[in-house]
C-alpha cells in the first residue's frame, strides 16, 4: 500500500506536467514550472490531489489511524528527514518481493533489540556473505 505522501507527490507531479504543457497565454514556457501554493489552487486541482487519499481513507477504515499517524509524523519531520524518507520509500519500491520479505524479517528482529545490540547487528549484517545472511534469515524468520 502506498503511503499518503506518495499519492500527494503523484498529484503534484501531475500538476507540474499540466503546467509545463500549457504555459499561460503570452508567456514563454519555462524550464522549471512554478507551481502555486495550495491556497492558489482551484477546487478541481485540490480535488485531483486529494482523491487518492480520500479513496484510500474510505476503502480502509482499519488503516485510518495509521494513515493519520503517518501524516502527523510527516508534518513533524525536517526537510532532511523527509528526503531520507522519500529515498527509503524509493528503495523499498525498487526491491524485489524476496528482498522485501528479508527486510521485514530483519526489521522485526531489530526493533526488539536494545540500541547497542541493534547497531552491532547492523555492522555484522554489512560484513555477512549472502549465504550467512540467508542462514540468519532462516533462523530468525517468524514461525507461522
What pLDDT digit, counting tens, does each position of 86-115 carry? 999 999 999 999 999 889 999 889 999 999
For residue 21, is pLDDT > 80? no
Q: Any idea where the domains of the chain sit in the sequence?
A: 1-94, 96-144
Closest CA to 9 of 50, 40, 43: 50
For residue 20, is pLDDT > 90? no
For residue 12, is pLDDT > 60? no
- % pLDDT > 70, the chain: 78
For residues 98 and 48, give the distance between their C-alpha atoms in angstroms, rounded to a whole number: 34
Write out the three cell numbers for 19: 503546467
Average pLDDT over residues 113-125: 92
Q: What is the pLDDT confidence band of residue 30, given thresholds at 50, 70 and 90?
A: low
DSSP 94-120: HS-HHHHHHHHHHHHHHTTS-HHHHHH
For residue 39, is pLDDT > 90? yes
pLDDT of residue 66: 94
Average pLDDT over residues 23-33: 59
Q: What is the pLDDT confidence band of residue 144, given thresholds at 50, 70 and 90?
A: low
Amino acid at each position: 500500500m502506498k503511503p499518503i505522501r506518495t499519492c500527494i507527490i503523484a498529484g503534484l507531479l501531475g500538476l507540474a506536467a499540466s503546467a509545463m504543457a500549457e504555459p499561460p497565454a503570452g508567456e514563454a514556457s519555462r524550464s522549471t514550472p512554478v507551481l502555486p501554493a495550495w491556497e492558489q489552487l482551484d477546487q478541481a486541482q485540490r480535488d485531483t490531489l486529494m482523491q487518492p487519499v480520500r479513496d484510500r481513507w474510505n476503502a480502509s477504515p482499519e488503516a485510518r489511524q495509521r494513515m493519520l499517524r503517518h501524516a502527523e509524523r510527516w508534518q513533524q519531520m525536517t526537510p532532511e528527514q523527509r528526503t531520507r524518507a522519500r529515498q527509503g520509500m524509493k528503495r523499498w519500491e525498487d526491491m524485489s518481493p524476496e528482498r522485501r520479505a528479508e527486510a521485514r524479517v530483519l526489521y522485526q528482529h531489530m526493533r526488539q533489540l536494545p540500541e547497542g545490540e541493534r547497531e552491532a547487528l547492523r555492522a555484522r549484517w554489512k560484513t555477512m556473505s549472502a549465504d550467512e545472511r540467508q542462514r540468519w534469515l532462516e533462523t530468525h524468520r517468524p514461525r507461522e
